[in-house]
Amino acid sequence: MNLALPILVPVLPALGAAAGLATGRRNPSLARPLAVLPVAVAAVLALVTAVQLGTGATLDAGTRLAPTGGPEISLALHLDGFTSMISVLVGLVATCVQIYSTAYLKDDPRYPSYAALVSLFTAAMFLVVYSGDLIVLLVGWEVMGICSYFLIGHHWETADARAASLKAFLVTKLGDVPFLFGLFLLGADAGTFRITDVLHTAATGGLHHPTLIALLLLAGVAGKSAQFPLHTWLPDAMAGPTPVSALIHAATMVAAGVYLVARLLPVFLQSSAALVVLAVMAAVTMVGSALCALAQDDLKRVLAYSTVGQLGYMTGALASGDRQAAVFHLVSHGVFKALLFLGAGVVIHAAHTNSLSAMARMDGLRHRIPDAMWTMGIGLAALVGLPPLAGFFSKESVLTAAEHAAHGEALTGSLGPASAVPTAVGWTVLVAGLLTALLTAAYAARLWLAVFHGRSTDGADLSPQPGAPYSPEPDEADPARVEPAAMRWPLWVLAVPAMGFGVAGLRTDWLPALLDGEPLRPSTVTWVLGTGIAVAGLLISWAAWRTVTARTVAGRPADDPGRLLLGPLYRPAQHGFGVDRLYSTLFVRPTEAAAGLVRFLDRAVVETYVRGAGAAPGWLGRAVRFAQTGNAQGYLSALLAGAVLLAVLVAVGS
């Protein structure tokens, strides 16, 4: 294979970002082509690279950057089936986001800088995927962090955007500190930062501190992939533009943590304790985020909590020792979650609100945005895991992996011994995954019904009437302007793999061969349980919706189906079970109190000494100045007085 192709994949978006930042403000007409073309070409090259590499093949190449006196750092490239799948996902989603953004942010004066940052974000994720050296991977890891800070805070005029960007940066950095030490310790144990050499050392049992390394790395993964307890930044990140949310949730940032664990899974398989921690983290994340999603009124926050829960499925598969199921669900989820967020952008553009309760009072929304209605329906069905959509096969592969681990049959392949996965891990992930499937179906149905099957409480029909526009506002009178082509076609492009990608898991000669070679067919027990539970969740949510609708029509106050379903858990779930408040009590307030004490000591004590040290010489100088009057008579009088005083003292002493 020509190495120029994979090298160009991360380089082209980075060059496009540099060009966009350099010329965007001076020549805005270049901003859109500089945003779309480099990313689109990189996506094509990623696909060509994947095709040329084929199935079951790997490519590892690199050159040493500089001598370090310890483990050397290499500019290395590592390609295999996992990198092929994820790089194609990144390229596809990033291209759709850039095209979509040309219409969504058409009138935004800061579009050039936004588009450049999206390109840089994409380049950083490509670097993480293709890197064969942990330190070079860390560069892309951190570049994504700073890009997310700027993109989430794109609308910096609002306090919510400023707070959300700062929170995302600080929470992810909180995880990155132990993550950095974990990388250093891993390199020291393995004697190298080259990923292939690290994996060989781990597989042969050459790591001296596997548990400590795995736990330190998990801290960074929890921050980047929004897993409990560092998940709180992701729902607040919805203050950024909707296309940014699609990119972060589907193909970059949160996917990086899952990909890293999948790449370094042999390291984690050396520690049963780390796998138990990973399984518990996944279970709490899955169930807790699904409960929170069922109680949210903001459309984007529902999808954000959904992302947190689906990432929990992936980390659960990794804890079960099956990285190919995790990556299968990562790619499948990336497609339908990007579809859902871009569809949500169309909905918000048409409804002028994020509120589900407000949309539930709009009769005609489904008539004005039919493309968004159908494509979001496909995305939500994939999220629920209904056959034969992609989400069904990928979710069931995770549940099957958990079932095998629960029976002591973990599919670790050549990564490590199957006994490294405790059976308790499998049962934990399996039970939490099934419960999450029920809750996922409930909040997905609630979202669909609220957005597209609302009913006006005042009896007014908001649907378009023959011969009369929906609204006097010009941008809403024309449906083509509510769903412009640049926002409509990316939805259908993503809808195609959301419908058909999962079937690829049935072909053992392609998708499984591209990964670890193990079958990805769902077991009968898990797919019957998973599908049955999902259908039950849909029916329960529909019944709750009918109950709420009947109350509204009867003139009683409107209610939220989530409130009926969750009961006393509704209010805690609506506020994220108080995790932010707990962090504020345990960490923020003590830190602020300590900062206040330091400020007091600095101003009242330290500055007092400093000012005193500066004032004392002044006082001494003023005292000495009184003796230097410049009057000769005064000097003679003082001399005479001194002489008399000395004479008296001598006389008295004698």
Domain ranges of the chain: 271-462+481-559, 581-653
* Residue 69 scores a pLDDT above 80: no
CA distances (Å), origin 34, targets 18, 46, 246, 356: 10, 18, 20, 36
End-to-end CA distance of the chain: 112
Q: Given this model, what pLDDT does residue 547 score?
A: 87
For residues 498-502, average pLDDT: 90
* Residue 60 scores a pLDDT above 50: yes
- What does pTM read for this prediction? 0.89
**Left (φ > 0), alpha (ψ -120 to 50) or beta: where does 317 sit?**
alpha
Q: Given this model, what pLDDT does residue 260 score?
A: 94
Neighbours of 408 (CB within 10 A): 12
- Can you say whether the dihedral through the CA atoms of 430, 436, 440, 442 is positive or negative? positive
* Residue 539 scores a pLDDT above 80: yes
Query: How far is Cα 531 from Cα 20, in angstroms, rounded to an integer?
Result: 47
Q: Given this model, what pLDDT does residue 611 score?
A: 83
Q: Given this model, what pLDDT does residue 435 score?
A: 96
Neighbours of 1 (CB within 10 A): 14
Name the residue among 333, 334, 234 with its Cα closest to residue 293: 234
Residue type, 129: V
Name the residue among 488, 489, 464, 487 with its Cα closest to residue 477: 464
**Adjacent-strand bridge partners of 75:** 63
CA distances (Å), origin 340, targets 217, 242, 493: 30, 10, 12
**170-191 pLDDT per residue, tens:** 999 999 999 999 999 999 999 8
What's the number of CA atoms in the CB half-sphere (13 Å) around residue 6? 27
Query: How far is Cα 10 from Cα 87, in angstroms, rounded to an integer?
Result: 10
3-class SS string, 87-119: HHHHHHHHHHHHHHHHHHCCCCCCHHHHHHHHH
For residues 223-239, average pLDDT: 91
**Where residue 558 falls among pLDDT bands split at 50, 70, 90?**
low
Q: 106 CB contacts (<8 Å, ≥6 apart)?
A: none
Query: How far is Cα 99 from Cα 487, in angstroms, rounded to an integer?
Result: 8
Per the model's pLDDT, the better-predicted residue between 363 and 74 turns out to be: 74
Report which listed range, 24-38, 57-71, 87-101, 503-517, is most confident: 87-101
Q: Given this model, what pLDDT does residue 531 score?
A: 93
Strands 59-66 and 73-79: antiparallel
For every residue of 420-471, DSSP letters joined together read: GS-HHHHHHHHHHHHHHHHHHHHHHHHHHHHHHS---TTS---SPBTTB-S-
**Where residue 323 falls among pLDDT bands split at 50, 70, 90?**
very high
- Average pLDDT over all residues of the chain: 87
Rg, the chain, Cα only:
31
- Can you say whether the dihedral through the CA atoms of 232, 131, 133, 325 is positive or negative? positive
Neighbours of 524 (CB within 10 A): 9
| Percentage of residues of the chain with pLDDT beyond 90 | 56
**Adjacent-strand bridge partners of 194:** 133
Both tokens of 217, joined, read 């790395």
Q: Given this model, what pLDDT does residue 412 score?
A: 56
**Where residue 203 falls among pLDDT bands split at 50, 70, 90?**
confident
409, 518 contact by CB (below 8 A): no
361, 449 contact by CB (below 8 A): no
413, 517 contact by CB (below 8 A): yes
Both tokens of 543, joined, read 């019944």
Q: Given this model, what pLDDT does residue 483 score?
A: 73
Query: How far is Cα 621 from Cα 638, in angstroms, rounded to an integer?
Result: 20
State the Cα angle at 195 between 194 and 199, rounded to 5°.
Answer: 120
Q: Given this model, what pLDDT does residue 459 score?
A: 43
Q: Given this model, what pLDDT does residue 541 score?
A: 93
Q: Given this model, what pLDDT does residue 415 score?
A: 65
Q: 462 CB contacts (<8 Å, ≥6 apart)?
A: 362, 363, 364, 365, 456, 470
**Which ranges of 239-322 would DSSP assign to H, the alpha helix?**
242-250, 254-263, 265-268, 272-295, 299-319
* Residue 81 scores a pLDDT above 80: yes
For residues 393-419, average pLDDT: 78
Neighbours of 652 (CB within 10 A): 7
* Residue 511 scores a pLDDT above 70: yes
CA distances (Å), origin 188, targets 208, 294, 631: 10, 45, 79
For residues 254-261, average pLDDT: 93
Per the model's pLDDT, the better-predicted residue between 68 and 151 turns out to be: 151
**281-317 pLDDT per residue, tens:** 999 999 999 999 999 999 999 999 999 999 999 999 9
For residues 380-394, average pLDDT: 93
| N residues, the chain | 654
**Where residue 73 falls among pLDDT bands split at 50, 70, 90?**
confident
Host H or E run for residue 7:
helix 4-23
For residues 558-580, average pLDDT: 88
Both tokens of 577, joined, read 């079970």
Identify the weakest region by mean pLDDT among 194-208, 377-391, 530-544.
Answer: 194-208
**Greatest CA separation found in the chain?**
129
Q: Given this model, what pLDDT does residue 417 score?
A: 56
**Adjacent-strand bridge partners of 77:** 61, 131
Mapping DSSP to helix (H, G, I), strand (E, B) and coil, where does residue 298 land?
strand
